[in-house]
Amino acid sequence: MRIEVAKKKVYLKLPKKNLEIHPFWLRERAKSKNLIDKNTDQRLYDPSDLNYKIKIKKTSIDKNSLKVEFTDGVKSNYKVKDLIYELKEDKPYNSILLWDSKLKKMPFTKYNKDMFEKKKTYNFLQDFYKYGFVIIKDTPIYENFLVKFANSIGVIRPTNWGVYFTVRSMPNANDLAYTSRSLKAHTDNPYRKPIPCVQLLHCIENKVKGGFSTIVDGFAVADYMRKNYKDLFNILTKTKVRFRFKDKSIILENWGELIELNNKGEVVQIRHSSRLDYVPILEKRKLEKFYKARKLFSLMCESKKFEIRFKMSQGDLIIFDNYRTLHGRTEFNPNEGRRHLKGCYIDHDSTEGKLRHLERKFRLKWKK
């Protein structure tokens, strides 16, 4: 993909064709001093007030820069790499890597109190998007550290559990997470609108023999189903399921597919919480196929092929993508000792925003 100019027109050069870039598309992105706010990049005008039939009067291009003069007198220089970035709809992170239980090395970094405006944070956020999770080792274990950490890479999203929640066995718990029972691989809170995007779990103490944490790449499981059980994969992408939670003070409901695709057919979200899902009434054969597909998905998530099992140590903090990475826990005996974790949620725009900020910062710094 590259940009070319010819006869007062600008083209996006693609492998099989040339796509003319509309002059007004470029005009909206002009960055003359009187057109945008230098601190926010917000326009100082409403483009709908302009004549959308504006044309290009003059244009030239070299390796790094596109220069355009428009018929309304505005002149603008564009960085070619920035235009390509936008035309490709690039994300601030590299391509994701699907993984299973053979993943040789889990992504992790060691905590440093001064890491949040450093390249170290940029690197572990890249790992987070690549693998769907990352572990921060040797963090402090004081009570509010999780809140401070989460707000350093995003903004905490409170829920009815509060700003953060405590994961430990307790009597009369209003969620199975707050018991010593095993928890099968699941995504959190599929009953919310919107569903929390990123979950953080911070290990304060873990002195039980059981209570191993489990993680599964839901995108990898979906990819395996698509390749090997196409019919069952399809029904999980086309059947909207109701997810429901209730306690003494609230009832929460939301609908969605267990495997959600975007308009390109790419998997973008997994909703899997077998204690909370209710499929609607469908024709009997469709329901039989759905039940078979859901069972297969669940079995694969619990299988040795896809599940990674590990023990969280004191000071470990795991961050995982709740739209991709399923997590669970093995059973433990609370009489053996204390197992105490803190958890909270942030949203994708928070982590992506932090990543874009660090990308901008380091581009400038490393090129000087």
The domain ranges of the chain are: 2-87, 108-355
Phi, psi torsion values for 135, nearest 5 degrees: -115, 130
On whether the CB atoms of residues 334 and 220 are closer than 8 A, the answer is no
- Distance, in Å, from the CA atom of 213 to the CA atom of 56, rounded to the nearest integer, reads 59
Going residue by residue through the chain (368 aa), what tens digit of pLDDT does each one get?
Answer: 788 899 899 998 888 888 899 999 999 999 887 899 988 889 999 999 999 999 999 999 988 899 999 999 999 999 888 888 787 777 778 789 999 999 999 999 999 999 999 999 999 999 999 999 999 999 999 878 999 999 999 999 999 888 999 876 544 544 555 566 778 999 999 999 999 999 999 999 888 888 899 999 999 999 999 999 999 999 999 999 999 999 888 999 999 999 999 999 999 999 999 888 999 999 999 999 999 999 999 999 999 999 999 999 999 999 999 999 999 988 877 777 788 899 999 999 999 999 989 988 886 443 32
pLDDT of residue 367: 37
Query: At the top level of CATH, which class does the domain 108-355 belong to?
Result: alpha beta
Complete DSSP assignment for 135-198: EEES---STTHHHHHHHHHS-B--BTTBSSEEES--TT-SSGGGSSS-EEEE-S-TTSSSPP-E
Kindly indicate whether the domain formed by 2-87 is annotated with CATH number 3.30.2020.30.
yes
- Distance, in Å, from the CA atom of 214 to the CA atom of 326, rounded to the nearest integer, reads 8
